[in-house]
Amino acid sequence: MTELTKVLHHRIAQNGPMSLAEFMETCLLHPAHGYYTQQDVFGASGDFVTAPETSQMFGELLGLCLAQSWQDQGCPAPFVLLELGPGRGTLMADILRATSRIDGFHQAMRLHLFEASKKLIDQQRKSLIGFDPVWLDNLADLPNLPLFCVANEFFDALPLHQYQRKGEGWHERQIGLTDGQLSIGLNKNPSVTPQLKARIEDTAEGDIVEINPQTRAIAAQIGNHIEAYKGVAIIIDYGNWRSLGDTIQAVKNHQFVDILKAPGEVDLTAHVDFEAIVNAAACAASRLTPQGVLLERLGITPRAQTLAKNLSGPALEHHIAAHRRLTHPDEMGTVFKALALFPKASSPPPGFQT
Ligand code: SAH
C-alpha cells in the first residue's frame, strides 16, 4: 500500500466517498506524497516524455510564434510572458533562447510562471537562471499588462468530476472503499450541476461526462485578461472538442496502469475539453489544430534540416525520430491539439486559423 493510499483510506473512512476531482488532486499534489511533489517524472528515466523534452524545436517554434504575435500587436512594452505548469522549465528555456534576438522582446518581458509543485519550482529556478521569473500562486495576481501565455500538457493535469447518466439525471462517480480496497462507485443522489443538463442532448443511458471546474476558471481568467489587456495564449494538450466517456488515465514507466493501483506513484491525466476552454474565455479562439499541422505551419521541417546539418550517427537518428514523434499522425501529431486565444480585435497567431 502506498503512503498516499493510506491517506486516502483514512479520509474516506472519516468523510465518506470522495469525488474523482478530490482523488486526482490529492494524488497529484498532496504536499508530502503527491506525484508532482515527490517524483522525478519527466524524461526517458521518468514516466513520460513531453514535447519540449522530446526536442528543442518545439519550444523554439512556439517562442517565435509568440514573438511574432507580440510584434503583430505592436510590440507592447512591458508585457507578461507566462507559462502554466512549466515542468522542468525546458519549454520556457527554449522559448527564451529562440526569442533572444527579437528586438526589444526580452527587455519588455516580465517572466511569470504558474506552478503548484515546490520540487518543480526548484528545477525551474535552475533551468531559467538569469531570467528572474516570478512564480504566481494565484492567476488573479497577474499584472494588468498584455499577456503572452503558453501551456503544454498543463490542463490535462487539472482535477475533474465525472458523472454517469441514468435516465434524465446524472450521478457523480466517486472513490470509496469496498472490502478494504479503493473502488469506484456512483453517488446515490443525483447531481444538479447546470452544465449537465445540456449534455442530455448528445448522450445516452450509461454515458459518462466530465466537468473540470479548474479548467473553466483558469480559461476564464486567461481569456478575460487577453480580451482586456491584449496578448495571446497557446494551449497544447491531448483531448477533443467535447469530452465524452471516462478519459482519466494513469501512466507509470511509459505504460498505462489502473488509476487505483498506486496512488501518488503514477501520473494521472484526463483529456482536455477544449470546448469548455473556449466557452469560458471572453476573448476570440482559433480552430483546434493538430500539433503536427501547427508545427509544420510554423516551419519545423526547415528547422529540423538546419539542425541536422551539424549532427551525425546516433544524434542524427535521435533528431529524426524526435521530429517524427512531434509531428507524425501515428505519434503525437494528431492526438495532441493546439488552441490559440487572442483578442477579438486581433488575428490569430501564426499557424492558427479561425
Ligand atoms: N509543460 C511541461 C510540464 C507538463 S506536466 C512540459 O510540457 O514538459 C504538468 C505541469 O503542471 C507540472 O509542472 C505540474 O507540476 C503542473 N501542475 C499540475 N497541476 C497544477 C496546478 N493545479 N496548478 C499549477 N501547476 C500545476
The answer on pLDDT for 229 being more than 90 is yes
Query: Is the minimum distance from the CB of 238 to ligand 1 under 6 angstroms?
Result: no
Is residue 59 lining ligand 1, measured as CB closer than 6 Å?
no
Ligand 1 pocket test target in 36, 58, 62, 128 with most atoms within 8 Å of CB: 36
Q: What is the pLDDT of residue 39?
A: 66
What is the reported pLDDT for 47? 76
Within a domain: residue 187?
no
Residue 93 Cβ inside 6 Å of ligand 1? The answer reads no
Would residue 280 count as lying in a domain?
yes
CATH code, domain with 245: 3.40.50.12710
Per the structure, the count of domains in the chain is 1
The preferred substitution site among 117, 160, 212, 236 for testing ligand 1, maximizing ligand atoms within 8 Å of CB, is: 117
Which domain does 116 fall in, by range?
Answer: 35-159+211-342
Indicate if ligand 1 lies below 6 Å from the C-beta of 210.
no
147 assigned to some structural domain: yes
* Within a domain: 21: no
pLDDT in tens, 161-180: 999 999 999 999 999 999 99
Please check the confidence at residue 42 and state whether its pLDDT lies above 80.
no
**pLDDT value for 283:** 98
Tell me how far the alpha carbon of residue 217 is from its chain's centroid: 14
Q: What is the pLDDT of residues 176-217, one digit of tens each?
A: 999 999 999 999 999 988 889 889 999 999 999 999 999 999
163 lines ligand 1 (CB under 6 A): no
Cα-to-centroid distance, 154 and ligand 1 (Å): 5
Compute the average pLDDT of residues 248-259: 91
Ligand 1 midpoint to CA 115 (Å) = 6
Cis peptide bond N-terminal to 76, omega within 30:
no
Question: Is it the case that residue 40 has pLDDT exceeding 90?
Answer: no
C-alpha cell at 305: 534540416
Model pLDDT, residue 135: 98
Please check whether residue 26 lies inside any domain of the structure: no
CB-ligand 1 contact for 212 (6 Å cutoff): no
pLDDT class of 43 with cuts at 50, 70, 90: low
Q: Ligand 1 in contact with 87 (CB < 6 A)?
A: yes
Q: Is the CB of 52 under 6 A from ligand 1?
A: yes
- 71-126 per-position pLDDT tens digit: 999 999 999 999 999 999 999 999 999 999 999 999 999 999 999 999 899 999 99
pLDDT tens-digit map of 275-315: 999 999 999 999 999 999 999 999 999 999 999 999 999 99
